[in-house]
A = this chain, B = another copy of it.
Amino acid sequence: MPVLKFEMTHRDPGSSARRGTIYTDHGIVETPIFMPVGTVGSVKAVSQQQLQHDVQAEIILGNTYHLYLRPGTEVLEAAGGLHRFMGWNKPILTDSGGYQVFSLAANRKLTEEGALFQSHIDGSKHLFTAENVMDIQRSIGADIIMAFDECPPYPSDYGYAKKSMELTHRWVDRCIARLDDTPDLYGYTQNLFPIVQGSTFPDLRKASCDYISSRGAAGNAIGGLSVGEPESMMYELTALCCENLPVEKPRYLMGVGTPWNILENIALGIDMFDCVMPTRNGRNGMLFTSQGVINIDNKKWEKDFSPIDEGIGSGISAYYSKAYLRHLVKSKEILGLTIASVHNLAFYLWLVREARAHIVAGDYFSWKNEMIPLLKTRL
């Protein structure tokens, strides 16, 4: 079977930023890319129509933990996979569920075998293993499936971080073996991305990169960052990982981050991002715009009838005014959650499209340094 192909077309002369294309059986993804998070088969408050036309998403993420608990693999298999279940025909990536087990589930217990936990919904007991997490992701039918890993908390001591990394490495091999033994379920290829761990320790990160690289996967991910460590530490570790992961494979930095985090990490060689920040912060009235950050709750927007953000390619961001969105948010109207979420995601997708154009133009580094103070401005 053909596997996911990555074609790198441009490299920025002033940084390690790259411009590429990922080919999947559900179409292409231009990189650098941001992936909206569709937790339980829905990008929160956003319709698939808005996702396609306003956000202009190219690939979305699903959470294995959530989808396994609800609607469950039986329903997803009966539907013919998540793409058909939710009506999303473009690529999907699923995480491995490990992160959610340790952030959401109750009474979790880590063993060599896997992670025991109780559902946050009904308290029922479940076991995630390297093997069954591959089976679940087969049932979901994502184009890119993530290896089962443990994400150590920040800070972790060296001994714990090393043991955790080694466990993640053993799990990677079990994931690969399981996928080799099981077929794609829906007639298209599913591609495994293993995950680099190693907490905040450069030697562990390098060792993990070496091990993960040696697995020869179609793409590689960096996990365990943006979990509370200082930004400068995240950038140093990302840079180290990018230097030690294959240049010809896409690199995915998991769970990152702010608009400026994304621009900085693109400069370090990252191709793929996901984060709940645009939707979660949007639901709390925080808007990222091409002019800076807006707290829409603020009275200064009460009579500002200018569009939320024009020129980012989102009809919804150009259609509704700041004053109207503020009114919806103050009145706790559901449409306010939708507009804010659609806008923030559209802004993130606009930002990576801009980044691509500047990599192609060869001025990414200077553009990024001009943009970051602007994006951080509190309006």
Chain B CB within 10 A, most for which of A320, A330, A335: A335
CB-CB under 8 A from A86, the residues of chain B are 324
In the bound complex, residues from chain B placing their C-beta under 8 Å from that of A334 are 42, 44-45, 334, 337-338
Chain B residue contacts of A335, Cβ below 8 A: 42, 44-47
Bound complex: CA A338 to CA B339 (Å): 12
Whether A79 sits at the interface, judged by CB under 8 Å, is: yes
Q: Is A160 engaged at the interface, CB distance under 8 Å to the other chain?
A: no
**C-alpha gap A44/B331 in the complex (Å):** 11
Query: A327 CA to B46 CA in the complex, in Å?
Result: 15
* One of A70-78, A97-105, A269-277 at the interface: A70-78
Q: Is the CB of B331 within 8 A of A47?
A: no
Is A209 close to B, CB under 8 A? no
> Of B75, B302, B320, B339, which is within 8 A of A302 by CB?
B75
Q: Determine the residue in chain B with the shortest Cβ distance to A46.
A: B335
**Known contacts A45-B334, A87-B320, A303 near B75 by CB under 8 Å:** yes
Q: Which chain A residues numbered 290 to 343 have a C-beta less than 8 Å away from chain B?
A: 302-303, 305, 315-316, 319-321, 323-324, 327-328, 330-331, 333-339
Given known pairs A75-B303, A333-B42, the reply for A327 and B47 (CB within 8 Å) is no
Chain A 60-100, CB-CB to B under 8 Å as 1, else 0, gives 00000010001100010011000011110000000000000
Q: A305-B78, A334-B334 are in contact. Are A85 and B44 (CB under 8 A)?
A: no
Q: Does A49 contact B (CB under 8 A)?
A: yes
Whether the pair B47, A316 counts as a contact (CB closer than 8 A) is: yes
CB neighbours of A70 from chain B (8 A): 327, 330-331
Complex alpha-carbon distance, A85 and B78, angstroms = 45
Does A40 count as interface, using CB distance less than 8 angstroms? yes
Residue in B closest to A319 when the chains form the complex, CB atoms: B87
- In the complex the two chains form, is B333's CB within 8 Å of A40's CB? yes
Give 18 CB contacts A-B under 8 Å. A40-B327, A40-B333, A41-B324, A41-B327, A41-B331, A42-B333, A47-B50, A48-B319, A49-B315, A49-B319, A71-B327, A71-B330, A75-B303, A75-B323, A78-B303, A79-B303, A85-B305, A85-B327
**A78 to B304 Cα, complex, angstroms:** 9
Q: A354–B88 Cα gap in the complex (Å)? A: 32
Task: Specify which chain B residues have a CB less than 8 angstroms from the CB of A324 in the assembled complex.
Answer: 41, 79, 85-87
Cβ of A319: which chain B residues have Cβ within 8 Å of it?
48-49, 87
**With A75-B327, A320-B87, A323-B85 in contact, is A44–B303 under 8 Å at CB?**
no
Q: For A44, give the chain B residue with the smallest CB separation.
A: B334
Q: How far is the CB of A287 from chain B (nearest CB, A)?
A: 17
Shortest distance between the CB of A327 and any CB in chain B (Å): 4
Chain B, residue nearest A315 (CB): B49
Q: Are B333 and A44 in contact (CB under 8 A)?
A: yes
Query: For residue A84, which residues in chain B have a CB less than 8 angstroms away from its CB?
Result: 305
Rounded to whole Å, the gap between the CB of A104 and the closest CB of chain B is 14
The 4 closest A-B pairs by CB, nearest first: A45-B334, A71-B327, A42-B335, A42-B333
